[in-house]
Structures are given as C-alpha cells and as structure tokens.
Amino acid sequence: MALMQYLRDTKSELNHVSWPTRTQTAIFTALVMIISVIVSLYLGVFDYLFTNALGKVIEFIPVSEPTLDLSEFNAISPTSTEFLMETPTAEDLIPGLEVEVE
C-alpha cells in the first residue's frame, strides 16, 4: 500500500515541476554541444603541445646502453660440450656434502 502512495506523491510532485520549452531545450542542447567541442579542442591543442615539448626534452637526455659483462659468467659455467661430457656429482651440486661410497 505504501508503494501506491509513493507513486501518487511522485506524480503530484512532477506536476509542480517547471519544464523547459522545446525552444529552450534545443538552445541548451546546442550550447552543451558547442562548449563540448571547444573544450575538447582546447585540451587537444595543449595535449599536442605538451607531448611534443616533452618529446623534444627527452631527445636531449643522454641514453647509455646497458652493458652486460659475461666474463664472470663464462668463467664459472661450463660450455655446452663440457656439460654433456661430465655428469656432476652430488659434491659438485651441494658444496660441503660428504658422500661415502661403499
């Protein structure tokens, strides 16, 4: 029953609303569209300018290529042929392990 009363009250309140005329609605719609285009152009121009300016700044920043020193890696790792020729023992895999073979 409360739902029906709510719907009646809502309809009554909507009758008190001052709705815009068709002309006002058309003018306000056109105004919103024009302002939207102007703001999008404004933001687009500044985005373009700042993007290009940042690109120019980044061009002047020196870039050093990362260097990878493999000399230490090559000294402790076997080559592919050495690895195939020698099978590692338990002592090789776990330092400090003492295995007694009977």
* pLDDT at residue number 58: 86
User: Is the predicted pLDDT of residue 81 greater than 90, yes or no?
Assistant: no
How much is the average pLDDT of 72-90? 58
Using CA atoms, how far apart are residues 74 and 76, in angstroms rounded to an integer? 6
Residue 49 located in a structural domain? yes
Is the pLDDT at 69 greater than 70? The verdict is: no
Amino acid at 85: M
Please indicate, yes or no, if residue 82 is contained in any of the structural domains.
Answer: yes
Q: Would you say residue 59 lies in a domain?
A: yes
* φ, ψ for residue 32, nearest 5 deg: -65, -40
Determine contact, residues 59/68, Cβ cutoff 8 Å: no
**pLDDT given for residue 48 in this prediction:** 97
pLDDT digits (tens, 9 = 90+) for 16-34: 999 999 999 999 999 999 9
**Domain contains 16:** no
Q: Is residue 61 situated within a structural domain?
A: yes
Does residue 83 fall inside a structural domain?
Answer: yes
Q: Give the per-residue pLDDT at 79.
A: 56
Residue 57 lies in a domain: yes
Q: Express each pLDDT in 42-66 by its tens digit.
A: 999 999 999 999 999 888 888 777 6
The range of the structural domain enclosing residue 63 comes to 21-88
Q: How many domains does the chain have?
A: 1
DSSP string, 46-68: HHHHHHHHHHHHHHHS--PPP--
The structure's pTM equals: 0.48
Q: Is residue 43 part of a domain?
A: yes
Q: What is the pLDDT of residue 62?
A: 80
